[in-house]
């Protein structure tokens, strides 16, 4: 009984942060990673909601960019959209609302840093958008998307960083006159479920990122370093 009450309180806290009422069962499903589902008798998980949310997200961002930037050509619009809906950008949004603490993960995924893994955070963000669509309708889901991505839309400098954080960090290092980024990568877990942790050092900034591939981990680390270094520039 206590666990059920704790989950309800946690879901209430999350919906307050999101600013929209979502059916508790759908929200709980949106937070359920397949690793938790497999460990609990193959119960439903969030991947179908993620599929729906991905479509809602793409449409909302596309319309917002199209109507808000009549001066931009198709190529520039496509680049901005891709950056805003990228895994790295969505994970940044998820961290901003503390989503990791609410995830329902299997024991192994939890122990290997799943609550801060870009891919899981991004997928769960999309699942929540899908749950909002089913609970409150398309207008509420679109409004949620725009609230979540507004910081990225309002800061054009983040577009390049979210799309190609390693190049952006390299360019920022050159611009600020510090030593170029140096990366190191370690990995844990079995071959079929390996997790990579990348560390980047640039000037006096050190940042880490995790991912399911070396490239993904390096991108996550580079974005965090870029955010730190750009804040000083």
Catalytic residue positions? Answer: 54, 126
Please tell me whether 126 is known to bind a ligand: yes
Report yes or no: 2 and 9 within 8 Å, Cβ to Cβ: no
Report yes or no: 119 and 174 within 8 Å, Cβ to Cβ: no
From CA 57, how far away is CA 149, in angstroms rounded? 10
For residue 84, give the H/E element and its range.
Answer: helix 74-84
Please tell me whether 25 is known to bind a ligand: no
Collect all residues with Cβ–Cβ distance below 8 Å to 117 and sequence separation of at least 6: 195, 210, 211, 212
Please tell me whether 123 is known to bind a ligand: yes
First to last CA, the chain: 51
Beta partners for 208?
199
From CA 139, how far away is CA 198, in angstroms rounded? 39
- Mark the binding-site residues, compressed into ranges: 50, 123, 126
- Mark the binding-site residues for Mg(2+), compressed into ranges: 50, 123, 126
């Amino acid at each position: 009984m206590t666990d059920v009450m704790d989950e309800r309180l946690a879901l209430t806290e999350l919906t307050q942060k999101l600013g929209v009422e979502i059916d508790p069962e759908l929200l709980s499903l949106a937070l359920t990673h397949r690793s938790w589902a497999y460990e609990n008798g193959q119960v439903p998980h969030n991947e179908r909601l993620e599929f729906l949310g991905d479509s809602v997200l793409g449409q909302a961002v596309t319309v917002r960019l199209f109507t808000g930037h009549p001066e931009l050509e198709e190529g520039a619009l496509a680049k901005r959209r891709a950056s805003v809906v990228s895994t790295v950008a969505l994970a940044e949004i998820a961290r901003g609302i503390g989503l990791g603490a609410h995830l329902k993960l299997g024991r192994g995924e939890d122990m290997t840093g799943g609550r801060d893994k870009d891919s899981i955070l991004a997928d769960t963000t999309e699942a929540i958008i899908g749950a909002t669509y089913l609970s409150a309708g398309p207008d509420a889901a679109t409004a949620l998307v725009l609230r979540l991505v507004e910081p990225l839309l309002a800061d054009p400098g983040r577009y390049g960083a979210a799309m190609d954080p390693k190049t952006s960090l390299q360019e920022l290092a050159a611009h600020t006159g510090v030593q170029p980024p140096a990366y190191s990568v370690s990995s844990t877990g079995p071959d079929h479920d390996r997790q990579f942790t990348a560390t980047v050092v640039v000037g006096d900034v050190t940042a880490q990122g995790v991912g399911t591939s070396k490239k993904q981990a390096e991108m996550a680390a580079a974005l965090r370093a870029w955010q730190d270094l750009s804040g000083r520039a």
